[in-house]
Amino acid sequence: MEKTLNVQGMTCGHCKMSVESALKKLDGVSAAEVHLETGKVDVTFDESKVNVEAMKEAIEEQGYDIA
C-alpha cells in the first residue's frame, strides 16, 4: 500500500535522511521518499505490519510535525 504524508519542518538533506531512515526502520515499511520542495513523504508499506499512526509517531520523534 502507498500513502503520502504531509510533514512540516523539513528543510534540508539531513531532514530528508532523518525522516526516511526513521520510517524505513519500521517493520513493514518497504520504501520512504521525502520531497522537500512539497513537504510530502511517499511511503510504501505492508498494512498488515504497520499503520499510519506508527509512521506519524516515528516522524514526530524526529522533531517534525504532521499536517
- The pLDDT of residue 67 is 85
Mean pLDDT of 14-31: 97
Q: What is the pTM of this model?
A: 0.93
User: Is residue 1 very low, low, confident or very high in pLDDT (cuts 50, 70, 90)?
Assistant: very high
Boundaries of domain holding 11: 2-66
Report DSSP letters for 13-66, one per residue. HHHHHHHHHHHHTSTTEEEEEEETTTTEEEEEE-TTT--HHHHHHHHHHTT-EE
Domain count of the fold of the chain: 1
Summarised one tens digit per residue, pLDDT across range 32-47 is 999 999 999 999 999 9
What CATH number should be reported for the domain holding residue 30? 3.30.70.100
